[in-house]
Amino acid sequence: MQERMGNPALVLPAAMQALNALSKVPVETGLSPKLLELVNLRASQINGCSVCVDGHPRIAKKLGETDERLFAIGAWRDSPYFSDAERAALALTEAVTRISDRADPVPDDIWDEATRHYDGRSLAALVIAIANINVWNRLNIATRQIAGAWKP
């Protein structure tokens, strides 16, 4: 496979600046960088973004994430490695990423569970993080970016 063009965020530096600025908001709000990498990886798996599925585990490992948790992220519901708060974030990630899969894309039970673990600012930051990784996935997939070219 060959990429169709350079990543649009690299072609348009203002887009890169905006996306990078947006990606800093969740961490500045206090969300754990490790949690955010789990969110990034899970959304990227769902979307089939090979660039991000390749790159985000590398970032997570640098942050101290374990192989067990990275290997089990696709089966987080049935794995003993995740806290209730992480499970709530992963459920929200899946719902927000799969918005066309059901009539009520983010059901109240998923939202309510997230609100049990995250206050208003943290929840807003989590939704922004999920939206941002979905933007990156779509940019990479649309232009057929090559896994391994980005080495975080």
HSE-up of 125 (CA within 13 Å, CB side)? 20
How is the chain split into domains, by residue range? 12-143
Average the pLDDT over 85-109 and give the result.
96
Is the confidence at residue 24, as pLDDT, over 90? Answer: yes
Instruction: Give me the pLDDT at residue 150, please.
Output: 77
Under the banding of pLDDT at 50, 70 and 90, the label for residue 35 is: very high
C-alpha distances (whole Å) from 98 to each of 61, 68, 88, 121, 143 are 26, 25, 15, 23, 21
Average the pLDDT over 138-147 and give the result.
95
pTM of the model: 0.95
Distance CA 93, CA 41 (A): 10
CATH class of domain segment(s) 12-143: mainly alpha
DSSP-assigned letter for residue 53: H
